[in-house]
Chains A and B, each alone.
Chain A
Amino acid sequence: MAKNKKMNRTARTYLTSFLLVAIFYGAVELIKFSGHLTSKATGLLIPVCAYIMMAISLNLVVGFLGELSLGHAAFMSAGAFVGVFFYNTAGASLPGWLSVVLAFVIGGIAAGIFGVIVGVPVLRLSGDYLAIVTLAFGEILKNVLNSLYIGVDSAGVHFSLKDQFSLNMEPTGKVLMKGAMGITGIKKFSYFSVGILLIVLTLIFVLNLMNSRAGRAITAIRDDEIAAKSVGINLTSYKLMAFVSSAVIAGLSGVLYALNFASLVAKKFDYNLSINILVMVVLGGMGSIPGAIVAAVILTVLPEMLRGFSQYRMFIYSIVLIVMMLFNRAPAFVAWRQRLGLKIHTKKNGNSGSTAEDGKKEE
């Protein structure tokens, strides 16, 4: 423990993050090996991995950049649909592994492009505009995907936002996307180890980025925009860097999530999902990567575990939320945790050191 205290914050974050992923992986493999992993639990593995990625990625925007995004599920959705669309069409003629890799690459890029489209106009402003715009973007994308029909026949590709018949296809044509029914017939590709690999890559990317010149610029913008400007940081480009990186990771997690199911519908990526991811970030402690991982696992597994007591499910869920919130924020708990040397979130200095000058800053 004494040695642990001497380590600086950065090293500790790296260590805890990777350790948590290793424990998660080890525990699952152990249960699997002992034959106690139910099929229901197996079905949860990939979604948990996807949500861990989502929580880390949203943390980049909310925790490190200090901007609020209320439509993060939309980037997941964009990645999922574009990635799977490719996987089901062009990818079908490629060797399995290549089509999967390309599905991830293309899904990630697509989500990134949406990130640029949303980010460029909005991130030039300071304030809560990002929250408003991402909220709208999420709803728009969901509704468009929900009514989008795509088909292909010998004459080429057909689009419609009305119904399948207005595609005007030849009888031999194939419908690739059926509005609210989404994309069906996905050849499932769900390996837990791929999910873990993606989490590890995400962790390396995010932790390395945040502990570099760019990451410092991003956190500086969060802490004080005016001071960041005065030391010559280009606010827009660093905000955009954080936001688009976050969108790309969300897109990758979307592809991972979608490849786990036989069909993909837009309704899954709704406002509730965006808020759930946000809850994970807030409960894990904003700006804390290990916290986001723990919160993502608990908040994905818990509702499923409670399905048995459906009457009390939401009741218990909300109690757990309150307990976690207290554990993270209540001064008595924070002090108790620090005594235990259990530093769950790194940003503990955010509101503890409120002295005279803090009051002065508000002026």
Chain B
Amino acid sequence: MALLEVRNLGISFGGLQAVSGLDLTIDSGHLYGLIGPNGAGKTTAFNMLTGMYRPTEGTITFDGVNITGKDPEYISKAGIARTFQNIRLFSAMSVLDNVKVGMHNRVTYGMFDGVFRTKKYHRREQEMNEKAISLLKVFGIGDKADYAASQLPYGQQRKLEICRALASDPKLLLLDEPAAGMNPNETAELMETVRKVRDEFGIAILLIEHDMKFVMGICEDITVLEYGKIIAHGDPDTVANDPEVIKAYLGGDDEN
């Protein structure tokens, strides 16, 4: 059975139908792309998958459990993690603490343990530190652990956000425009990182991206949205040659 099954998902804000009839099937260990012109509803779809928005129609089944309309806390615990289009780091906190916040529901102890510095506190904190440092090292920012998140250069902030998402041991990682604002070198490096994440952590990744070289080069399965509806779906080659997709991206004559 698929890891994530989205059936006929839709949401409308008042009279505006932002997304409708969205179907997605995602299996563990694969890379999926969600593309489409601006305003097609890609981020809205992410917001529904992570519980930020409550869908008005359709179902989301994750790991055999119906998670439609659950809150972000529940969905995060279930194993879906995400990054944001405009980086959302805890900017005044250290790089290390950002990753440790990501482990909030994975390595736990109570307020009492924290205040009274019990054995459990020390054990869990150490476990967190080790895990966080090794995660940061995977992304090559292990030496930046004590920096404030806002001190990192842009590309590393993107990496840190992925680190934070991975810290919650997700089964599915949603990346919202991970290459946005990156130069070609950084993009190429990021492609490697994303592949490495998939291979090392054995998780499924669904990403939104405008950089076509990135998407085509990395994703095994691509879904194209336009005006909130799926206009094409398939492997990179099929999608790239689909007349509907070309029309959506390059514009076409409506008379034809």
Contacts and interface: CB of A to CB of B under 8 A. Distances in A.
Interface string B53-93: 00000000000000000001101110001101011111111
B164 interface: yes
Nearest to A353: B150
A357 B101 contact: no
A219 B89 contact: no
A185 interface: no
Contact of B88 (A204, A227, A350): A227
13 contacts: A213-B108, A214-B111, A216-B104, A219-B90, A220-B101, A226-B84, A228-B90, A228-B101, A232-B77, A233-B104, A350-B150, A356-B181, A357-B87
Contact of A353 (B87, B116, B151): B151
A9 interface: yes
Contacts of A208: 114-117
Given A208-B117, A213-B104, A353-B148, A227 B89 contact: yes
Contacts of B121: 212
Contact of B92 (A217, A349, A357): A349
A40 interface: no
A274 to B, nearest CB: 25
Contacts of B164: 231
B87 A361 contact: yes
Contacts, number: 127
A230 interface: yes
A61 B237 CA distance: 54
B201 interface: no
Interface in A53-103: none
Contacts of B227: none
A57 B113 CA distance: 20
B8 interface: no
Contact of B105 (A9, A232, A356): A232
A231 B80 CA distance: 9
- What 6 A-B pairs have minimum CB-CB distances, sorted nearest first? A212-B114, A232-B76, A349-B148, A223-B90, A227-B88, A353-B150
Interface string A2-15: 00000011000000
Interface in A310-360: 347, 349-350, 353, 355-358, 360
Contacts of B219: none
Given A220-B101, A349-B148, A349-B151, A230 B93 contact: no
Contact of A226 (B88, B93, B97, B115): B88
A234 interface: yes
Contacts of A358: 150
Given A214-B111, A220-B93, 12 more contacts: A208-B114, A209-B114, A209-B115, A212-B121, A217-B101, A223-B89, A223-B90, A223-B93, A231-B167, A232-B168, A356-B154, A357-B87
B123 to A, nearest CB: 13
A205 interface: yes
Nearest to A8: B146
Nearest to B109: A213
Nearest to B93: A219
Contacts of B101: 216-217, 220, 228, 231, 233
B50 interface: yes
Indicate the member of A227, A232, A349 with the most B CB atoms within 10 Å.
Answer: A232
A328 to B, nearest CB: 15
B94 interface: yes
B86 A361 contact: yes
A229 interface: yes
B100 interface: yes
A357 B155 CA distance: 11
Nearest to A205: B115
A215 interface: yes
Interface in A190-227: 204-205, 208-209, 211-217, 219-220, 222-224, 226-227
A4 B134 CA distance: 27
Contacts of A357: 86-87, 154, 157, 181
A216 B75 CA distance: 20
A239 to B, nearest CB: 14
Indicate the member of B81, B92, B114 with the most A CB atoms within 10 Å.
Answer: B92
Contacts of B100: 213, 216
A171 to B, nearest CB: 51
Nearest to B107: A213
Contacts of B124: 213
B41 interface: no
B22 to A, nearest CB: 20
A177 interface: no
Interface string B141-172: 00000101011001001000000110110000
B102 interface: yes
B52 interface: yes
Contacts of B146: 8-9
B92 A234 contact: no
A241 interface: yes
A229 B74 CA distance: 10
Contacts of A234: 73
A223 B111 contact: no
Contacts of A216: 93, 97, 100-101, 104
Contacts of A8: 146
Contacts of B102: 231
Interface string A134-149: 0000000000000000
A305 B165 CA distance: 54
Contacts of B52: 226, 229-230
A287 B76 CA distance: 28
Contacts of A9: 94, 146
